[in-house]
Amino acid sequence: MVNRRTGILLAITGYILGLALEGPKLFRVREIFLPIDTPTGTLSILIASLIIFFGGELSKIPLSLSKALTGAILGVSIALGTFNSSGYLALILAFWFLVPLAATALGILLVGVDDRLSPRNLWLKLSLLKTGLLLVSFLSAYVLGSNTLGLIAGVVYNQTIYATVAVGLGAVLGTFVLGRGALRRLTEGIFSLRYPNAFFSQLIGSATVELANQLGVPLSITETVSSGIIGSGLARRMRMMNARNVFLIISSWIISPIAGFLLAYGLTKLL
């Protein structure tokens, strides 16, 4: 489809645009849960999130950075006694629980619709899917920039402009050097992706995260995309689905926020 350099440029453009245009919507997570200036708390959040992130890289498991960050912010908030927004927390938890179920169901539904209504001309179908994959790949990068990177930039109290620039530069660097192992686990690690599976999983993932953006809800793009992958695999009745990797990925959805909470809570009490 495209060479590696073009793919990297596409991803970087999506990251930066998402961060610049919609990233500030995710600043409200820090503003609501941790409305005070606490350098120690900020340091605890960042250290806890980095530990979890690099743990995912070393284990090649796509741990959710946005969930780890949210858990870390909550851990610091409770450690400092500033937590007072159970309604917003309930909204976040509802998204975290319901969206994977909805994404899996949509993956099954869309593959079924594709089987019934897609063009019979194989070359036309492949051309449409390749073009569509470029678009949804860009959208996936865009929503990752707006949601996850926006959440990171909002961690630093009252320094969001400088933080946004730093996060943008970090995303550019990370695009070149990190993420291959986790991506392999997420895609080929479940089953070998075909064009329709890849298209629908990324479409579902980017659409659900963009919905979360409008409500200021942190939502993991790896979680929504992997749910779509699992759903499309079930629709194809993939007997070769790697049950172990599916279990590891689903477990990481639960582990990420809990680990972030515990690490940040403990660090805040120690520092």
- Amino acid letter, 219: L
The answer on pLDDT for 184 being more than 50 is no
**pLDDT-wise least confident of 57-66, 170-179, 183-192:** 183-192
- Every domain of the chain and the residues it spans: 4-270
Q: Residue 3: what pLDDT?
A: 66
Q: Residue 163: what pLDDT?
A: 80
**For 147-171, what is each residue's pLDDT tens digit?**
999 999 999 867 668 788 888 888 7
Contacts of 207 (CB under 8 A, 6+ apart): none
Count Cβ atoms below 10 Å from residue 124 Cβ, excluding itself.
11
Q: Give the C-alpha separation, 146 to 149, whole Å.
A: 6
Give yes or no for a contact between 52 and 241, defined as CB atoms under 8 angstroms apart: no
Give yes or no for a contact between 230 and 190, defined as CB atoms under 8 angstroms apart: yes
The token pair at 209 is: 């995260």
The answer on pLDDT for 190 being more than 50 is no
The pLDDT-based confidence of 204 (bands split at 50, 70, 90) is very high
pTM for the full model? 0.86
The answer on pLDDT for 185 being more than 70 is no
**For 208-233, what is each residue's pLDDT tens digit?**
999 999 999 999 888 888 888 888 77
